[in-house]
Structure 1
């Protein structure tokens, strides 16, 4: 009888309290509320597998800005039941249990399998004076299984993939650190700690907790996805889906700190075209606006950029795209600065550059006066776009390089966090700064144009930023083998934070370890290996300070570093159909492009802690070379190349699949380590059996040739599927259904490749084409046993 009363109360949204063990709780339309002796707890189901938990001290009103989460609660069928001193709230996917004595919450699957438990007495509220606002420092502890692996937390440069036994104190956005207070477990659940203030994450065998400096209460989301892709899908359901990137963003990009004239910028593109090395993008870094007092004016005020329209026309006529640097701060002589200062929209702390002088080192007795703006203020975001839309957008700029989106916080004083923003103290909303700044540009551009997809390269990110067409790079990292090795788990944990687009400066930004710069043989070898790694990241971009990084700086055809770089740039372009389809898998199915091995092989515990290998898409296992092999040291500052012996590298192939060496076609068993030779132009690449890989034509830029003669490589040994995605490459018509999908299925037992009816259509679509099907074990250069299939959009099959 009591159980039926609970059900009726829930479905009718009743608000009467039910007394149990001197504690009270009441059903709500979203779940239940409970009042214990010292805290109020509310459990809200946002969907059958997403739950929000809000805890406050008794009598305190809870308020939040809700900057990351954009999902509204779904109507979810729930059942309440009494079990001793606990109340169970169950959906079709999840059971949440609240202990009315302790206030601890536990989570289990609908079938009762335990997922996560809060620690008894794990909630903490401590009074905190936040610049005059009487608020709280809040914390929540959980208890994990002893051997459970967890991942995420954004981008941190420690070199670890598994976040167990890690402590990150007082996390705030930084140049190379991106805070995303989200973890996911190998057990298939995730936790998003919805707080924007400086946050500590700590994991020990005793407890795992989040603690934030400022909060009106504890506010977190628990999600059950069943596996890593499922968890990622739930997080994006909460915080926003990732739109399609333009095709050209997946080509090769050249950058430098900085090209100093428009002729130099255009000349770089011309040189790539003359050499016949593919290129899709060039980046114009800072000071096209002039001196530091004009910092980020978002106008071409530098005399060496006197005809920006011609510069853009020249770049576009070379079939390339240009991305330009914009910042979240302004110099005191700029129009945006003056407008925002008059309205108290600038944050009064030191940021880059500190000096008005361009000499190095900076002359601090000439302060620049550059200040960041209050991105939390919607009117300030309007002003920012107003100047961007007048000063740069009309020239046809293709992408925005949003630098210092943390923003840079130099000579930081404790009182800087007391600075008032539109949403309260800077401390309260500190970590959401990049989300608001990047989101402001995306939303404004989308509002005025759908002809060109928004593309943003940003140095910082927060939860939900995937919805803003942004690719995050790992900041101003140093050039070293150690740094290169760390980029792999750094990028993987960032992707496991549900933000799929990430990259690193190919070659590293600062060359401080290499005083001889590009003359250092060890650095040249490092650059080649970094280029190979960059081929298998969502954005392939060469960039750095201290020395230029264009391919000809490393020699000419016939030189080993040059040839290795050119080889992998060309491989990147051959893989564009695969990469673009993987991008669609992100948008349509909440997938990830850089995939930690546990995402696809969670049953193999050997992969849970592997830091140096990953899947690129769902077919290609990548094991970048991150140690020098071909440099012989002759002294403290001198070394030479030594290619007298070919070196090797070991790779662990996950169990649960067979594998093919990409270069030779040799078939290998999973669940074992293998060793292969790694000359300078080879890294270990393995293709999962059952994979179907499309290879595009050799081109000089992404859209140079139609995909009317794609090579389709089939890797037998298991059944497999692949969906080839195509659209108009650079507008938002795909959101209206203007795209096509062609699904391939490999039946391993029958040895038959089936090509399904084409789904969808779009302007410029290929109605007739040829697929050149290859049974792949003969290796990467296989040109025999090709079977040409004429395809008109109707289902067909071929026996191999």
Structure 2
């Protein structure tokens, strides 16, 4: 027994010695994902966050505690292998993607890539009252924090706040080759960063006494995005119908009006996938004039009988025509009775003030909210439009969490989709869209749409949208047509209008206006196989659907801040007319480009001038692109026996993965998809394909028509195949 006790003591001593190494000025402790270091009187953590990022953690307390943040995707359990570097006074961890080091004598920390190249040489940290600051010098261009502080693509700061159609997040990618993301102890007081214009000193500010700065080497914006979604969550796909056209307005008068609009869309062959209803679907009067106590009899969770006297039957009738139901939700209550309940339970953000906004982070409130909304889901509501939820930074996250959980319970395995007026990190993992707010019906406002949405893409909001036509005011016919044309190339295509203005129904805008908008809608639906596949690419890799040209041409200084033209995927360049008169200049970077409509070949880099008729859209396709083009349908779930067209743009080899699935469930997350990888060999003029995946629903394409210039060839898809153009 005595020998066993001695052996046990010796074993414990060995474990302690292996875990902790004492030096004159530092103590290094190995923990599961890295090391703890005592330096400068502070506890510093150098850890791996997943299989692509480091985390530099600061805490004044003796034991480093983990910050619990909804920004971080805790479902990603991937962990990088690491080794501890011990070369007094420098210590750190090394992984396959780089190393993070700290000098315990000076407190200076540094970041390196896998090749040993220093990315951040002189990191420092300090505590000032209830704020932690992390500073270092860095050159390079910074992208990715959102559109709240600036609509420029290149950034010098992030306020990390939300507003009407705007959001900043504590993230950026640096063209020197790394990304950074900051997390404070309180998600509603998020981290901010700032680098004075023309300077190199960059400062992160963390409210509270704890700080997590996530860092990962990233040579390209694509690498930065990949690391971002590994850390904060993959962007789940909305249902496929949400990629079609969504028609919204404030002012659906009554049930007859709704039915007549649906009939008009179908008889005028105007594709549409959803109607979006404002206040009028659930209440007769907006709640803006209500005071602290609301109004007796105000309806928050029922259908307005004037517009929906028989909601389940009416919604079913719309769905039989391929039209889904999306209803607006506000973050507050209007009913006196319900407000009394909320105040009694402490469910309001500010129970003692006039504010009527709900605190969705409260689990009790979310359960109650579930009970109130469940009958609406059962009646057929497909998705929500969440408006005016900028009262606190994580409002939309918790609000969507309540709706996501409700849908999962009431309609299991049906994809969550919402339209929201702002976003915060992590909301993308819920199947989430952000629109650019209550914008005016003006040409400058149209020009700002791609500015906002490209910034959304760079900030991890993969499904951006806008009020096509503008919300405030009535656009001219020309303006609305051009807005529709730009909307074709946005991740989500949705129009909207204020009450009292002319609805953005194409058939209300004259024969020529309607024809031009129909042409734009037809193109959107033809591009659905391509755009929807890009949604799958976003989920898999983090690459956004709507991309600034700088992502593909990082060395071209002309496109470093270009926001009036953009790429959809890698190969389709959209340069819609964003100004009155039909004229604009277009820059085509260093590559070979094809005019989508005429096939004209243009060698870049080149700036061209165009003058487009009302129904013409400037669109160009990059050499090496394989572009799947579907038939014109009236709604996304409408099947067609027409072969899928595979348009080939020669000059380089190319590949494209077209993904098909059931369009409504989460089975794609479990691999239930059908992926057809199309490959073009430019030397042999051969298109080949290979099919993988088990999905075999009725909506999959069984035949193709390959198009190379004026040459066409048809084939059955099968599991593999090829076509040779001579």
What TM-score does the superposition give when structure 2 sets the normalisation length? Answer: 0.90
Give 3-state SS (helix, strand or coil) of 2:554's partner.
coil
Distance change >3 Å, CA 707–CA 375, structure 1 → 2: farther
Choose which of 382, 398, 403 in structure 1 pairs with 2:387: 403
Distance 1:671 1:102 in 2: 49
Distance change >3 Å, CA 342–CA 98, structure 1 → 2: same
Other-structure match for 1:162: 154
1:789 matched to 2:706:
no
Give 3-state SS (helix, strand or coil) of 1:249's partner.
helix
Other-structure match for 1:798: 724
Q: Deviations over 1:565-615 (max 9, x none)?
A: 221111101111111111111223332101111222223333222222211
Other-structure match for 1:172: 161
Other-structure match for 2:366: 381
Other-structure match for 2:551: 599
Distance 2:586 2:57 in 1: 45
Q: Deviations over 1:627-671 (max 9, x none)?
A: 222xxxxxxxxxxxxxxxxx532222222x321121221112233
Is the Cα contact below 8 Å between 1:157 and 1:486 reproduced in 2? no
Distance 2:539 2:158 in 1: 31
Distance change >3 Å, CA 580–CA 223, structure 1 → 2: same
Other-structure match for 2:204: 210
1:264 matched to 2:272:
no
Q: Deviations over 1:194-247 (max 9, x none)?
A: 1320554322213222324x3231222112243222221221111222222212
1:503 matched to 2:465:
yes
Distance change >3 Å, CA 604–CA 671, structure 1 → 2: same
Alpha-carbon shift at residue 765 of structure 1 (Å): 5.6
List gaps (5 residues or longer) in structure 2: 1-12, 288-294
Distance 1:465 1:12 in 2: 42
**What is the correspondence of 1:582-661 to structure 2 with a 5 Å cutoff?**
582-629=534-581, 648-655=583-590, 657-661=591-595
Q: Deviations over 1:371-401 (max 9, x none)?
A: 11111111211111111112x1111111111
Give 3-state SS (helix, strand or coil) of 2:698's partner.
coil
1:467 matched to 2:400:
no
Give 3-state SS (helix, strand or coil) of 1:489's partner.
helix
1:246 matched to 2:180:
no
Alpha-carbon shift at residue 69 of structure 1 (Å): 0.7
Give 3-state SS (helix, strand or coil) of 2:381's partner.
coil
Give 3-state SS (helix, strand or coil) of 1:725's partner.
strand
Is the Cα contact below 8 Å between 2:477 and 2:509 reproduced in 1? no
Is the Cα contact below 8 Å between 2:526 and 2:632 reproduced in 1? yes
Distance 1:691 1:45 in 2: 37
Give 3-state SS (helix, strand or coil) of 2:115's partner.
coil
Distance 1:447 1:503 in 2: 28
Give 3-state SS (helix, strand or coil) of 1:329's partner.
coil
Distance 1:574 1:687 in 2: 15
Choose which of 61, 72, 79 in structure 2 pairs with 1:69: 72
Alpha-carbon shift at residue 721 of structure 1 (Å): 0.4
Q: Deviations over 1:399-422 (max 9, x none)?
A: 111112223xxxxxxxxxxxxxxx
Other-structure match for 2:226: 233
Other-structure match for 2:134: 140
Distance 1:247 1:10 in 2: 58
Distance 1:11 1:613 in 2: 60
Is the Cα contact below 8 Å between 2:148 and 2:163 reproduced in 1? no
Distance change >3 Å, CA 716–CA 61, structure 1 → 2: closer
Alpha-carbon shift at residue 733 of structure 1 (Å): 2.9
Is the Cα contact below 8 Å between 2:43 and 2:61 reproduced in 1? yes
Choose which of 497, 503, 520 in structure 2 pairs with 1:549: 503
Distance 2:61 2:666 in 1: 48
Q: Deviations over 1:264-296 (max 9, x none)?
A: 223222211121111111011114332433666
Distance 1:10 1:723 in 2: 54
**What is the correspondence of 1:640-719 to structure 2 with a 5 Å cutoff?**
648-655=583-590, 657-706=591-640, 708-719=642-653
Alpha-carbon shift at residue 90 of structure 1 (Å): 1.1
Distance 2:136 2:613 in 1: 47
Other-structure match for 1:531: 484
Q: Deviations over 1:35-70 (max 9, x none)?
A: 223422111112342111111236486463321112
What TM-score does the superposition give when structure 1 sets the normalisation length? Answer: 0.82
**What is the correspondence of 1:11-90 to structure 2 with a 5 Å cutoff?**
14-19=18-23, 22-57=25-60, 59=62, 62=65, 64-71=67-74, 74-83=78-87, 85-90=89-94
Other-structure match for 1:222: 215
Alpha-carbon shift at residue 773 of structure 1 (Å): 0.9
Distance change >3 Å, CA 733–CA 452, structure 1 → 2: same
Distance 2:256 2:661 in 1: 34
Choose which of 157, 169, 180 in structure 2 pairs with 1:191: 180
Distance 1:240 1:605 in 2: 31
Other-structure match for 2:418: 456
Q: CA RMSD in A?
A: 2.6
Other-structure match for 2:98: 94
Distance 1:199 1:266 in 2: 48
1:371 matched to 2:356:
yes
Distance 1:92 1:183 in 2: 22
Other-structure match for 1:153: 145
Distance 1:569 1:117 in 2: 52
1:578 matched to 2:513:
no
List gaps (5 residues or longer) in structure 1: 1-8, 128-135, 352-368, 408-429, 512-516, 630-646, 777-783
Is the Cα contact below 8 Å between 1:772 and 1:788 reproduced in 2? yes
Distance 2:502 2:177 in 1: 44
Distance change >3 Å, CA 571–CA 376, structure 1 → 2: same
Count, aligned residues? 697
